[in-house]
A and B are shown apart, each in its own frame.
Chain A
Amino acid sequence: QSALTQPASVSGSPGQSITISCTGTNSDVGNYNLVSWYQQHPGKAPKVIISGVTRRSSGVSNRFSGSKSGNTASLTISGLQAEDEADYFCCSYAGSYTWLFGGGTKLTVL
């Protein structure tokens, strides 16, 4: 049960687009369309923003989008805004009723 691999940090200027990758294996990300993404601001609980690889949660801006290719899922945020600065975690169902999170990516809006 090794964690999914995410970059430790990404950054972008307001208005730009960034993409956060999440790499697993053909036992988790590559085997199920059950990748979700969570946003966590400091001191707060995580909030789901994407589920089922591409499905945006209610109330989440359409600037957020998810995709998957092979064993790698991606979260893209377009038109970066200051309030997007947060930690982002991917999560995948890994079979046998277990789940795996990524190590998290700190997004800095410059």
Chain B
Amino acid sequence: EVQLVESGGDSVQPGGSLRLSCVGSGFTFSNYWMHWVRQAPGRGLVWVSRIYSDGSGASYADSVKGRFTISRDNAKNTVFLQMNSLRVEDTAVYYCARDFSHALDVWGQGTTVIVSS
């Protein structure tokens, strides 16, 4: 079964850091670009970041550029999202998703990040 499982969500204070992980299984992880997408409570989906299949390049939404870093370890079938200088407005469920022809065809169940003092 093709599957993505996120972890690492937590409650942190503004200015803090968190590292999210997403493990893929049931497919050749190293063949696919991967994305992170977030959804604030009661709000819509927002694209956050994408990384090439070999990790050689990444892109970010303006709202997280310079604060978040996406990376991957293909030997462990894992993509990461390092989140620094967290703000209250970063509070959301964070999903990782697989890219297939510029659509997101497999999604994880999400991990919750709460930024609050």
Interface residues of A (CB under 8 A from B): 1, 3, 32, 34, 36, 38, 40, 45-48, 51-52, 57, 89, 91, 93, 96-104
Contact with A along B29-40 (1 / 0, CB 8 A): 000000101000
**A91 pairs with B47, CB closer than 8 A:** yes
**Nearest residue, chain A, Cβ from B110:** A45
Contact of A57 among B61, B105, B108 (CB under 8 A): B105
Q: Ordered nearest first, which 7 A-B pairs have the shortest CB separation?
A: A51-B103, A97-B59, A36-B103, A104-B44, A99-B47, A45-B107, A34-B102
Known: A45-B95, A48-B105. A96 touches B47 (CB 8 A): no
Residues of B within 8 A of A (CB): 35, 37, 43-47, 50, 57, 59, 61-63, 95, 100-105, 107-110
Q: Which residues of B contact A36 (CB under 8 A)?
A: 102-104
* In the bound complex, CA of A103 to CA of B42 (Å): 11
Complex CA gap A32/B102 in Å reads: 10
Tell me the smallest distance from the CB of A66 to a CB of chain B, in Å.
Answer: 11
Asked whether, in the complex, the Cβ of A98 is within 8 Å of the Cβ of B61, the reply is: yes
Closest Cβ–Cβ distance, residue B111 to chain A (whole Å): 11
A52 to B107, CA, bound (A): 18
Tell me which of B59, B95, B100 contacts A98 (CB under 8 A). B59
